[in-house]
Chains A and B, each alone.
Chain A
Amino acid sequence: MKLAHALIAKSIAESILVGVLAVTFYISAFPPTYHGWGEVLPDGIAGWAVNHASPWERVEVQLFIDAKFVATATANLNRPDIVAVGWARDAWHGYKFDGLKVRGPGRHQAIVYVLHSTRSGSQQTLQRLGDPIWFNVDDSGMLEPIYTRRFVAR
């Protein structure tokens, strides 16, 4: 083997190493197995969240409104509709943030994140569930959805 060949072989090996490390890290920190969706109710935000890598797990979700943390909850409420459409094996993956006090009138954005801990527990990450949820708040403090084009669970 020539020196140039050794150089190329070493470069390929290191590229593969860095690639594997990057993908492994990303999957470990942000597993692509979480799915969920949220919607606006007159008095709050509700939805469902499931981890397909651990179907019986009740995942923890956090609500941010206008990029500020508002509340945390465990997705363990009854949602038979998600079993019917095949998103979960059991119905106990719903969540609801109610009694929200959002300043109105005006337009706001809510994002629901799922909280994930790495196996070692040394890192915790937040992943967005579904799309950002846009809503209006009227004078009486009631929430009203602003519908956007995409309705795809993520």
Chain B
Amino acid sequence: MMSHDLDTTTHGDPALAGWEIASVVTSCLIAEWTIFTFAGGSQVVGAIPVTLAIAFMIFSHRARGETLKDIGFRLDNFFRAARVLALPTIVAVGLIILVSWLRRNHQFAFAPLRLRFLWVPLWALFQQYALQGFINRRAQIALGAGVKSVVLVALIFSLMHLPNPLLTVLTLVGGLIWAWAYQKETNLFALALSHTIVSGVLALSLAQDLVYNLRVGFKYFG
């Protein structure tokens, strides 16, 4: 067993855990696709499925007796987790900059910084919480720790980034690495740091025709 705190043998019905994953994924898909289709991107309406998903995740944590530390909101293993993530993050950043350099005729060019980038760390932490702190943990209950649950988490993360082709591929790879790292060291802050660095470099260095403002779901089309 890896060094995380989840004992999958005592956390109940694997099928129920599977339904929990399906429920949260459905909320995300409703927010990404249905709200933009029917309500023109209304933030108030969009908040409903997101709120339902958050409320359900909190309820589930309480029902299963999971603490914030169990989920990964902790600092005691931050540096161990950061060490696990350092090499993949550096490689990812290097590859993104290399691709950007090649596509811009061997020149470095970065997009201007925007105020909304200040939200990226929080957004990254929220995404990693939902993906790892909830979905990864439930995937481990359903499928056990290891390859199967890691692949499931990565596929779900990738699904959430459709139909943006580049992000779908990148998040599949990122999802594999981050899900594996979470199962090795349960720390959401280190994951959010890695996520922030990679998405920040991605948004700043790659041409917009490739990343299309990191848009996903129905919003991708405009």
A positions within 8 Å CB-CB of B: 1-4, 6-7, 10-11, 13-14, 17-18, 21-22, 24-25, 120, 122
Contact = CB atoms under 8 A, between A and B. Distances in A.
A115 B148 CA distance: 53
Contacts of B64: 3
B45 interface: yes
Q: Is the interface of B mostly helix, strand, loop or mixed?
A: helix
Query: How large, as a class, is the contact surface on chain B?
Result: 20 to 34
A3 B20 contact: yes
Interface stretch (B52-60, B97-105, B208-216): B52-60
Nearest to B49: A14
B34 A4 contact: no
Given A2-B63, A6-B56, A7-B19, A17 B40 contact: no
Given A4-B16, A7-B20, A17 B30 contact: yes
Contacts of B40: 120, 122
Interface of B: 16, 19-20, 23, 26-27, 30, 34-35, 37-40, 45, 48-49, 52-53, 55-56, 59-60, 63-64
A18 B34 contact: yes
Contacts of A11: 23, 26
Given A21-B45, A25-B38, A3 B23 contact: no
7 contacts: A3-B20, A3-B59, A6-B59, A7-B16, A7-B23, A21-B45, A122-B40
B56 A7 contact: yes
A6 B60 contact: yes
Contacts of A4: 16, 19
Given A3-B63, A4-B16, A14-B52, A22 B38 contact: yes
A17 B49 contact: yes
B35 A21 contact: yes
Contacts of A22: 38
Given A1-B59, A3-B59, A13-B52, 17 more contacts: A2-B63, A3-B16, A3-B20, A3-B63, A4-B19, A6-B59, A6-B60, A7-B19, A10-B27, A11-B26, A14-B27, A18-B30, A21-B34, A21-B45, A22-B38, A25-B37, A120-B40
Contacts of A17: 30, 45, 48-49
Contacts of A13: 52
Contacts of A25: 37-39
A6 B57 CA distance: 10
B8 to A, nearest CB: 16
B29 to A, nearest CB: 10
A41 B129 CA distance: 68
A14 B20 contact: no
B142 to A, nearest CB: 14
Nearest to B53: A10
